[in-house]
Amino acid sequence: MKRYTLQTLVRWLVKGLTHSEYIGIENIPTEGGVIFATNHLSQLDIPLLFVNPVRRDITALVTTKYQKHWFIKWFCKTAEGIWIDRDIADFGAMRAAARALQEGKALGIAPEGTRSRTAQLLPGKPGMVLLALKTNAPILPVGISGTENAFRLLARLRRPHIRVRFGLQFNLEPLTRDNREQATQRYLDEIMCRIAALLPEEYRGVYRDHPLLKNFL
């Protein structure tokens, strides 16, 4: 199956089996490299971003742990995703991600580095910050809600209500030589709080009371 055919099929399934809303699509740039920074609740998150209404060229970093599942492995290969080993410093994956951005593609990344089992935001990891700084790609925060119970509801023949909300894109200023570690953490906190601001309060997790959050609500 070709990538375009897969997108058409997934879009049909999402429309037919779920009540899915894409909110803030006017914030998505129509071209050029951009990082979609999203929370991660379910295996359904990747297909939802894959069929976003604006960027058909989107790819994503996908953990190699999903290679154990034949269907997810096939889906990611057909969708031209980028495998990343979260247990090591996977420089090959980061080079592939940087190349995709430099080629003008959209790239989906979950800064948490793993799927949240509680549907609440987990602490972010700095890899995405370093990638954004290296490529100078803008970051577009994305908040997904409703996918954590989607498969359970579908099994009961009920259509889950899912929201994919896109915020405003922004760029990170280059780091100076001083306090690079502290500045990287500050950038990461900003990214995660921008994502948290797009989510209902009960999804905000460790960033619920972060002092930066109120700047983006």
Contacts of 159 (CB under 8 A, 6+ apart): 17, 18, 19, 153
pTM (predicted TM-score): 0.94
Is 53 inside any structural domain? yes
Is 185 inside any structural domain? yes
Dist CA 162 CA 94 (whole Å): 30
* Residue from 107, 113, 124 nearest 86 by CA: 113
Is 178 inside any structural domain? yes
User: In the chain, where does DSSP find H-type helix?
Assistant: 3-17, 45-50, 70-78, 91-102, 127-135, 150-155, 180-197
Terminal-residue alpha carbon distance, the chain: 42
Is 47 inside any structural domain? yes
Is 209 inside any structural domain? yes
Say what the pLDDT of residue 129 is. 95
Classified as helix, coil or strand, 145 is strand
Say what the pLDDT of residue 199 is. 98
Is 85 inside any structural domain? yes
Is 6 inside any structural domain? no
Domain, as residue range, for 108: 29-215
Predicted confidence (pLDDT) per residue in 41-100, tens digit: 999 999 999 999 999 999 999 989 888 889 889 999 999 999 998 878 788 999 999 999
Is 194 inside any structural domain? yes
Total tally of structural domains belonging to the chain: 1
Say what the pLDDT of residue 179 is. 78
| Residue 137: other Cβ atoms inside 10 A | 25
Q: Which residues of the chain have pLDDT under 50?
A: none
